[in-house]
Amino acid sequence: MIGITIRQMLYFDALAQTLHFGRAARRSGVSQPALSSQIAEMEERLNCRLFERGGKTVRMTDEAHALQPRIERILADIRDVEATARRGRPAMEGRFRLGIIPTVAPYLLPHVLPELKKQYPALQLELREAVTASLVDDTASGRLDAFIAALPLDHPGLVAQELFPDRFFLAVPSGDPAFASPPVPPESPALERLMLLEEGHCLREQALAVCGNVRPVAMASYGATSLTTLLQMVAHGLGVTLVPEMAASAAGVMPDLRIVPFQEPMPQRLICMAWRRNRARQDECVELARIIRGLDAAVLRV
Amino acid sequence: MIGITIRQMLYFDALAQTLHFGRAARRSGVSQPALSSQIAEMEERLNCRLFERGGKTVRMTDEAHALQPRIERILADIRDVEATARRGRPAMEGRFRLGIIPTVAPYLLPHVLPELKKQYPALQLELREAVTASLVDDTASGRLDAFIAALPLDHPGLVAQELFPDRFFLAVPSGDPAFASPPVPPESPALERLMLLEEGHCLREQALAVCGNVRPVAMASYGATSLTTLLQMVAHGLGVTLVPEMAASAAGVMPDLRIVPFQEPMPQRLICMAWRRNRARQDECVELARIIRGLDAAVLRV
DNA sequence: TACCAATCATAGGAAAATCCTATCGAAAGA
DNA sequence: TCTTTCGATAGGATTTTCCTATGATTGGTA
């Protein structure tokens, strides 16, 4: 497809500048015959005489004169490409697309973002909030660099690193007598009034797993798509709901709302960060996970 | 100096388009391991992961995405350079710098130029009129592509091809009784009044060679620098001069001027075309010479 | 679960490209 | 004519590139 080589262009350039095979060869760090034969080969491949060899002088042909600036430019372009690539983005710089599930994002991000901004100001974090299935899909197909969700994640090709456990609490109306004396046993009949997020949120499945024996109120009819909305519904006495620990600390300040613990062992979920197993720069993901794990545990607890 | 190769860029391009090592290799006409190892080598040299290899899918890294258009452009540029050079200017096209001595130019060019224009309309002939020494110098150093002059030329590095002989005649005042009965013998005492062009013109030396025993009138004092001027001086009865055959046909129509032949064997000079022995496209010079030689001999004769 | 198909990496030896040293031949100057 | 300079050529060594065969991993399927 392409006949000439970079080497030939380099030798051509050296010869065009020196007009002397010996000096061009020395400048190129090869022997004179090596340079001679490469130039000859180049002329052969281009089917075009480039240099006139005289007894004492070497002269460029018109064709060579026309080619020289273009070849110089090509060489410069190649050097540029190499320099750009080789410089190697120094980890934690440039764009990083991170997905987070909705039941974690609003509670974790306020703590993570300032810390990231401080440690890695050059990192341009692009955030996407979506349910786990969507995040898994986007990450596997390269539309995201990594995501934060709750274990378990079962997708081949992804690798997950545990970040921290997130215990579940119960959010109940302030004066509800059914929860007068916490902790609450998971099999409490009062959990019949459990309200859940719409399908797709992993918190829904986790809540069902915790309170295995209840027939929860279908939330679709209420249109509750966010945990905040759900908590406001609880505050209005429409029912109760499960809140993760992170959210609970925020929910604790809402009026007419009470956060009560479950009996030991307290149910919990494991929050993790995940990315493609074959991802080029795993170090960035690992570093990001390290930072999140390193956040003062207090900020994530009730 | 430059680490990556054109081959690597080609393979990179193929892989970037197919995202499949096997197909990229097939498209590139090599085996899959060959392509794999060249890509690996390229990543090594750039110190930068370019592709993520997954079980079933290959994905480009951000770096590779950034590099791809630049590499494509470089490859296109190289192909352009090759196409340009390889197309090979089809001989007798483009600029051709031709020098001619002043005692030939005005008589030969009117015949040559129309013919050239007809046969090779794409040829851009640049003409320079100068004395032989100057033409030799300019041609040897590449400022001219070829020149037309009279033999002998003694300069190493030049090659000359004979074009045609140019016989010498004598231009005399119309009524001059000394030349009443031509042909004129070279040793005629009437040649004492021979006038010559200024130093540098080969015709001067040639005339002296023909009339070896005369002490010619120094022309410098008259300031005659062109044959036409010289002929007008002859017409005014200031002396006689040697005219080459080509000029004679033009001079024949001047009033008060007579063109008379020399005795056999008629003296002559050989007009030739010359160029650098190492010149790249000798074929153009040879072709040009062929055309001039092919001109109807009649146009060059008395 | 265990096999199967697809895919990229690795190994080892062959082929090709490139280079080096030594030498030749032409050209230009002494 | 002799010498010096310089590019071309020759022959063999070295490096690069390639191919075939095989291994390892992944993702789907019986």
Distance, Å, A28 CA → C17 C1'? 18
In 3D space, the residue among A195, A199, A203 whose CA is nearest the CA of residue A102 turns out to be A203
- The answer regarding whether domain B6-87 maps to CATH 1.10.10.10 reads yes
Residue A252 identity (one-letter amino acid): G
Residue B153 identity (one-letter amino acid): L
Cross-chain residue pair B54–A276, CB shorter than 8 Å = yes
Per-residue model confidence (pLDDT) at position B76: 86
Query: Please, which residues bridge with residue A161 across strands?
Result: A273
Superfamily assignment of B94-163+273-300 in CATH? Periplasmic binding protein-like II (3.40.190.10)
Stretch B38-64: mean pLDDT: 89
Query: Around A222, how many Cα atoms within 13 Å sit in the side-chain half-sphere?
Result: 21
Binding residues for strand D (Cβ < 7 Å): A 20-22, 32-33, 36-37, 39-40, 53, 55-56, 58, 156-157, 277; B 5, 7, 29-34, 37-38, 41, 54-56
Whether nucleic acid strand C comes within 7 Å of the CB of A141, the answer is no
Cross-chain residue pair A67–B85, CB shorter than 8 Å = yes
Q: Find residues 74-93 of chain B whose CB sits inside 8 Å of chain A.
A: 74-75, 77-82, 84-86, 88-89
Candidates B2, B79, B82; nearest CB to A46 = B82
Task: Using the predicted structure, report yes or no on whether residue B27 has a pLDDT greater than 60.
Answer: yes
Across chain B, the runs of DSSP E, i.e. the strands, are 51-53, 58-60, 94-100, 123-129, 146-150, 158-173, 241-244, 257-261, 268-276
**Torsion angles phi and psi, residue B175, rounded to 5:** -95, 10
More confident residue, B43 or B237: B43
DSSP one-letter code for A66: H
Indicate the pLDDT class of residue B235, thresholds 50, 70 and 90.
confident
Per-residue model confidence (pLDDT) at position A248: 82
How far is CA B141 from each of CA B119, B130, B163, B193, B289, rounded to the nearest angstrom? 29, 15, 23, 39, 21
Per-residue model confidence (pLDDT) at position B294: 86
- The answer regarding whether domain A94-164+269-300 maps to CATH 3.30.9.30 reads no
Closest-CA distance of chain B to residue A210, Å: 36
Query: Please, which residues bridge with residue A261 across strands?
Result: A169
CATH code of the domain made up of A166-268: 3.40.190.10
More confident residue, B201 or B221: B201
**Chain A contact set for B77 (CB, 8 A):** 70, 73-74, 77
Indicate the pLDDT class of residue A301, thresholds 50, 70 and 90.
low
- Do B6-87 and B165-261 fold alike per CATH? no
Distance, Å, A158 CA → C8 C1'? 18
pLDDT in tens, A35-73: 999 999 999 999 989 999 877 788 999 889 989 988 988
Q: Nearest residue of B to residue A55 by CA position?
A: B157
Superfamily assignment of B165-261 in CATH? Periplasmic binding protein-like II (3.40.190.10)
Chain A CB within 8 Å of residue B292 CB: no
Closest residue to D16 by CA to C1' distance? B38
- Percentage of chain B beyond pLDDT 90 is 34
Length of chain A in terms of residues written: 302
Structural element, H or E, at residue B179: none
Per-domain residue ranges of chain B: 6-87, 94-163+273-300, 165-261
